[in-house]
Amino acid sequence: MDPIQPGDHQGYMCLALSLAQKSPPKPTNYRVGAVLVDTSSNNILATGYTLELPGNTHAEQCCLIKLTEKHGVSEENLKEVLAPHIALYTTVEPCSERLSGNLPCVERVLRLAGSLQTVYVGIMEPETFVSSNTGRKSLTDAGIDVVHVKGLEEQILEVATAGHVKA
């Protein structure tokens, strides 16, 4: 695969979508892919997808867990070791509530405010599991831009809902 050029939001979203396809289909969650990028150097810092790591892990959570292991810090202290210009690409808007009781992805992302400048999303979270995702507002209130990358919505939704009972 050719390297993704700086600012190629569609290219990074396609990479996130390819990661989402690795997630096992289940009726109780979305299959999501995420890519964390240092925008200053255009280096991919971490990738993740739903259920990649043990437990009921979400894609964004997997990215952050991998970075904590790489840098030997806690997730709460991860911002201290990251570059100042980070972007997150995720196929589905980060969750603001976890029905499992785990820390929502929005709260994990908010820990990186200041370093993390922008969250690029392929689709906003459907209301299947959480009827009112307040993640976008929380992120923008913290100074993190949320940008919809258009053009892959149909494919993202198909991958995200694989394994769901169709009405």
Residue 70 identity:
K
DSSP string, 103-140: PPHHHHHHTTBTTEEEEEEEEPPPTTT-SS--HHHHHH
Active-site residue, from 60, 76, 97, 125: 60
C-alpha 118/C-alpha 124 separation (Å) is 15
The two beta strands, 116-123 and 145-148, are parallel
Per the CB < 8 A criterion, the answer to whether 125 and 135 are in contact is yes
The reply to whether 60 belongs to the active site is yes
- List the catalytic residues: 60
